[in-house]
Structure 1
Amino acid sequence: MVKLPVIIGMGGIGPAGRTSCHHAYRRLVIDQLSLADAEATKRALAQVMGRSDVESDDLLKGSLVRKLENNLFDPQAIPLHKAFGADQGSSLLVNKKRVGSPIPEHWTVTEHDDQRMRIDLEANQPLLVPITRQSTINAAGQLPSGFDPSKLYQSRNHPRGLQMSVYGASDAISSLGFDWDRVKQCVAPDQIAVYAGSGMAQLDYNGVGGMLQARLLGKRVTSKQCPLGLAEMPADFINAYVLGSVGATGTNMGACATFLYNLNQAKDDIRSGRRRIVLVGNSEAPLVPEVFEGYGNMGALATDEELRELDGRSVEEGADHRRACRPFSGNCGFTLAESAQFFVICDDELALELGANIYGAVADVFVNADGFKKSISGPGLGNYITVGKAMAVARSIVGEQGLQRSFVQAHGTGTPQNRITESHILNEAAQVFGISNLPVTAIKSYVGHSLSAAAGDQLAATLGTWQYGVIPGISTIDHIADDVYQDQLRFLMQHESVDTQGLDVAFLNSKGFGGNNATGAILAPHATQEILLKRHGKEAIKRHAALNEQTRERQAEYDVRCSKGELSPIYQFGEGVLGAEDIEFSSKALHVPGYSKPVDLEIPNPYE
């Protein structure tokens, strides 16, 4: 029997706050929550922001998409070098230590005084003069104001994306409601996997960015910048310092669809039985000046000037940064964001055995390329295939009626091109499958576009919808653009209350640069429970429910302790390191300390 990939845990950090216990989702719909839930989410948000004034108006303003803050860099004074030149016959006075070697042939160097040398130029000399510039793009989906993951553990000059990985993975694992050691007693070491990474690697100064900048800034490349800058390093950090895992590892990259690529790998592993439990996620920290400039020069990001033009505002009035991302409406570009989102996926038998919370299940994920393209960033046919197959598999699982009870978390970047192409894809698919008034939302309007982690943001919001019965609407828009296809679609411009039992499946859609398309079909908790009941029977479900009571209690305890600031991320540097002398190795099995089950080496011939 094919295993069912069940979602049993989630954690992370993004512009909406902490992911576990649905707090990031609850921030999106906080005005729709009960007073108790709203207050709990404010406390959770205040804790990550390092604040005690839970009722302050600034608390909510310091989250989601907003004007760029200067905690990462000063957008009003971005440093750069301007090309300059000294003419032939000019002279320069330079500190003796700065003259360097070898001396260019067109320099004549003489001693000027005890500290300086005189350089007479016999030809024109190009120079670089340090200056600053103001950013034309000043909106971003930033982590909550005041949140600094580097201060929560001994970060040792880690790139920001890895700091966020440690926090996000720790949040996912710690909020499971049971210890990870319990998992290690149920599965063999090689039945665990971590699939995590980043789409653009670690680009701040502690990573690849610093490695490429250092020499040009007159500094030295450190021993960490190259290795810690690798795109799969989030998985490496989680294995080495959070889980101590010796199981499968890696990342599957696909630009803005990367999270779904990793989720697909996790789904395939669990379905086949190769793995029993997988931590899957992505961490992206792209808020550096060079990335803003790169996407900005493509015309992909919303500039202040363009936002003002959309709203008819003057320079003095300024741009509405809070509403920078406007999917499927009058818009001018996407809004860059940072986020780290992680989910724990396991097979259905293990979920029942652990008494785990069941947030839903991964019905399937489909990945397809675009084929021949006019431009590497232009759209193609691949997304028609992924959406079509996702709806087809959902129909097979939940039936025609279940398919009617679905909604879409659109890629919804906020660009003029996306609003046309994605709406056409969704509209055509809905028509083909006979779905009318298919609800469509796009949470990038709240949190921006976190690139590789974007579908992780979508999944967290989807699981929250099933828990609280509110689909977050696209609240940054007041109309649907005329060129958007919507005959079969219903774009939600406001929050929509729904019956939590009335939505059977959600479709997560991602479209990435280069023709990387992915669509995931996610089953609701009640739809998942129906499958579990058919597979395992009433008695197994009763046993799980009894175990799950303790799981929920421990999750609530974790939430309270987090909101009080009593917990730190898991970071086990140099702890529990194992060597060859620690393992028991035979031709039939390999025993790793800490696991009750061995790695099975009696592997049958797979080609018979």
Structure 2
Amino acid sequence: MTPTRGSGAPDVVVTGLGLVTPAGVGVAETWSRALSGEPTAAPDPELDGHTVDFSCRVPGYDPVAQFGRRRAWRLDRYVQLALTATREALADSGLNPQDARSCDATRVGVVLGNALGGTSTFEQQVRSLHEAGPQAVSPMLVPMSAVNMVSGYVAMEVGARGPNLVTATACASGATAIGVARDMLRSGACDVVITGGTESSLTPTVMAGFARMGALSRRRADPAAASRPFDADRDGFVAAEGAGVLVLETAAHARSRGARVRARLGGYGASADAHHATAPDPEGRGAELAIRAALDSAGVAPHEVDHVNAHGTSTPLNDLTEAHVLKRVLGSDAVVTSTKGVTGHSLGAAGAIEAALTVLAVEHGTVPPTANLDSLDAAIEVEVAAKTPRELPIDVAMSNSFGFGGQNAVLVFTAA
């Protein structure tokens, strides 16, 4: 690798992971399902009568068991998922911000990504307003539905008193949050940042909106086969919910407490397409800018990338554009996957979930297969893992996230 630009800044490492996804509650369940290549899309009873009546929901998640009945009632599901993932990530890291012997809580930040906020709460309260009038609207409407509240609730949960914010860059939100967290650590503002993304917006109104846009797969007869990134027969994404949380630390802080380092977060790049509200730049110029910036900040040459967890939404335009950019920048040696074939597309959480899966790929030297990839689009010229996991040494891996509005975020992880 070439020397990292700005090498006077501290290295940033990953010491904890937490996942709540349609592939399972917890890192172990999610990783196992990702390796199996078994899709999670299924008919969704809440979408009965819709043009698109299937989605990817988190299975067997019980918020009452997690938080107790009263507290669960006061938290929108997007916050519940984030809190559960945070608990796992902190336990994995061995950190406890409420214990001064563990870390200085005033130097523990929280940066989480989210696209749409508490849409379930908002839709419920709109119904209450229309059916019973203003006095029926809950006083908890705003704190339950506002986008910023998830980072505030995580800080309350764990006692983190450092910088606290939410990033909202649509489908890139989780990756943007991780990149911002890296910047905080490198600037010296924090020793630790709890970061990632969360989303739970599988509500009738939101799903109807995506369907009207033509963004969703309409494979109603076989939902499990609907999310098929890079496949010649892809016709849209499958909406999902979930949360992914990473604990990031400066390498010096992790060493000082003898923490296990799972991977190094070497690079982050961000850009804008400045092109269209929902369609990617057909030349992929914005995505390319973000990829090259991430590689540059990591001190990594393009040919050194072993693996890419692609944005890979299963939409005709995104997959083709992204593949062309990867071919142009990296060549054809990196092994590409899209774990959205298994998990679906969890919007603001997707970049964080995929970042965690990229860390696991680096750790285990294993690339999960792209589910439902039966016939690679003939116009795609990159190596895409399909059918079975691909075992290979992974020293450098990249995770791509591209959002509506043309907002792009790319992360580069390297072996610890």
TM-score, structure 2 normalization: 0.91
Matched residue, 1:495: 388
Matched residue, 2:277: 376
* Structure 1 residues 181 and 355: CA distance shift in structure 2, 3 A: farther
Structure 1 counterpart of 2:33, from 4, 27, 41: 27
Structure 2 counterpart of 1:3, from 1, 10, 13: 10
8 Å Cα contact 2:307/2:367 also seen in 1:
no
- Displacement after TM superposition at 1:179 (Å): 4.1
User: 1:455 & 1:19 partners in 2: Cα distance?
Assistant: 17
Structure 1 counterpart of 2:76, from 159, 182, 185: 159
Q: Does 1:428 align with 2:328?
A: yes
Q: Does 1:322 align with 2:219?
A: no
- Which digits, 9 at most, give the CA deviation of each residue in 1:422-443, with x for residues without a partner? 111111112xxxx432211100
Larger Rg: 1
- Which digits, 9 at most, give the CA deviation of each residue in 1:191-229, with x for residues without a partner? 11001242101000xx22233332223352110012211
- Displacement after TM superposition at 1:482 (Å): 2.6
The percent of aligned pairs where both chains have the same amino acid is 25
Q: SS where residue 101 of structure 2 aligns?
A: helix
Unaligned runs of at least 5 residues, structure 2: 1-7
Matched residue, 1:465: 361
Structure 2 counterpart of 1:251, from 143, 155, 166: 166
- Which digits, 9 at most, give the CA deviation of each residue in 1:2-43, with x for residues without a partner? 2111100011311111333x4311222249xxxxxxxxxxxx
8 Å Cα contact 1:65/1:323 also seen in 2:
no
Q: Does 1:391 align with 2:295?
A: yes
* Structure 1 residues 419 and 12: CA distance shift in structure 2, 3 A: closer
Q: Does 1:454 align with 2:355?
A: no
Q: Does 1:199 align with 2:115?
A: yes
8 Å Cα contact 1:19/1:460 also seen in 2:
no
* Structure 1 residues 209 and 377: CA distance shift in structure 2, 3 A: same
8 Å Cα contact 1:25/1:460 also seen in 2:
no
* Structure 1 residues 417 and 215: CA distance shift in structure 2, 3 A: same
CA RMSD, Structure 1 to Structure 2 (Å): 2.0
Structure 2 counterpart of 1:293, from 196, 208, 215: 208
Q: Does 1:339 align with 2:220?
A: no
User: 1:274 & 1:383 partners in 2: Cα distance?
Assistant: 29
Given residue 200 of structure 2, which amino acid in structure 1 is its aligned partner?
A: A
User: 2:320 & 2:130 partners in 1: Cα distance?
Assistant: 43
User: 2:340 & 2:104 partners in 1: Cα distance?
Assistant: 39
- Displacement after TM superposition at 1:343 (Å): 0.7
- Displacement after TM superposition at 1:410 (Å): 0.6
User: 2:18 & 2:248 partners in 1: Cα distance?
Assistant: 12
Q: SS where residue 67 of structure 2 aligns?
A: coil
- Displacement after TM superposition at 1:178 (Å): 5.1
- Displacement after TM superposition at 1:491 (Å): 1.3
8 Å Cα contact 1:12/1:340 also seen in 2:
yes
Unaligned runs of at least 5 residues, structure 1: 32-59, 77-133, 308-317, 526-608
* Structure 1 residues 475 and 252: CA distance shift in structure 2, 3 A: closer
- Displacement after TM superposition at 1:351 (Å): 0.7
Matched residue, 1:417: 317
Q: Relative contact order: is structure 1 or structure 2 higher (C-alpha 8 Å, sep ≥ 6)?
A: 2
Query: How do 1:70-149 residues align onto structure 2 when only pairs under 5 Å count?
Result: 70=45, 73=46, 75-76=47-48, 134-144=49-59, 146-149=60-63
User: 1:443 & 1:334 partners in 2: Cα distance?
Assistant: 12
- Displacement after TM superposition at 1:180 (Å): 4.1
Given residue 426 of structure 1, which amino acid in structure 2 is its aligned partner?
A: L
- Displacement after TM superposition at 1:457 (Å): 1.6
- Displacement after TM superposition at 1:405 (Å): 4.8
Q: Does 1:517 align with 2:413?
A: no
8 Å Cα contact 1:255/1:451 also seen in 2:
yes
Matched residue, 2:5: none
* Structure 1 residues 30 and 467: CA distance shift in structure 2, 3 A: farther
Matched residue, 1:365: 268
Given residue 66 of structure 2, which amino acid in structure 1 is its aligned partner?
A: L
Q: Does 1:18 align with 2:25?
A: yes
Q: SS where residue 387 of structure 1 aligns?
A: helix
User: 2:353 & 2:118 partners in 1: Cα distance?
Assistant: 19
* Structure 1 residues 420 and 497: CA distance shift in structure 2, 3 A: closer
User: 2:296 & 2:111 partners in 1: Cα distance?
Assistant: 26
User: 1:187 & 1:163 partners in 2: Cα distance?
Assistant: 25
- Displacement after TM superposition at 1:332 (Å): 0.8
Q: SS where residue 173 of structure 1 aligns?
A: helix
Matched residue, 1:235: 151
- Displacement after TM superposition at 1:181 (Å): 4.3
User: 1:509 & 1:235 partners in 2: Cα distance?
Assistant: 23
* Structure 1 residues 181 and 201: CA distance shift in structure 2, 3 A: closer
User: 2:34 & 2:178 partners in 1: Cα distance?
Assistant: 24
